[in-house]
Amino acid sequence: MNESMLVLTRKAGESIIIGDDVRLVVVEVRGDQVRIGVDAPRQVSVHRGEVYEAIRKANQEAGTPPNLQEFGKLIPKKR
């Protein structure tokens, strides 16, 4: 956890507002799990942290240039 992170305490049914148009609502607390509802405009991407990291990693790998030496091995040599 980041030292400058804002940490808020909420009970079920209470909410947190981010900016003008994102609302997080604590829907349910059961044991060590918290269900959170997110009310945000469609253009705002909302992902679980582990899903976001997987997407970010896949995007980085897709943007990595191919190994041209390995690609060259696939092309038959001219005689």
Per-residue pLDDT in tens (0 to 9) along the chain, 79 residues: 778 999 999 999 999 999 999 999 999 999 999 999 999 999 999 999 999 999 999 988 887 766 777 766 777 777 6
Q: The whole model's pTM is what?
A: 0.68
* CA pair distance 45, 47, nearest whole angstrom: 7
Check: CB of residue 23 under 8 Å from CB of residue 39: yes
pLDDT value of position 63: 75
* CA pair distance 22, 37, nearest whole angstrom: 11
Evaluated on CA atoms 62, 45, 50, 18, the torsion sign reads: positive
Q: What residue type is assigned to position 59 of the chain?
A: N
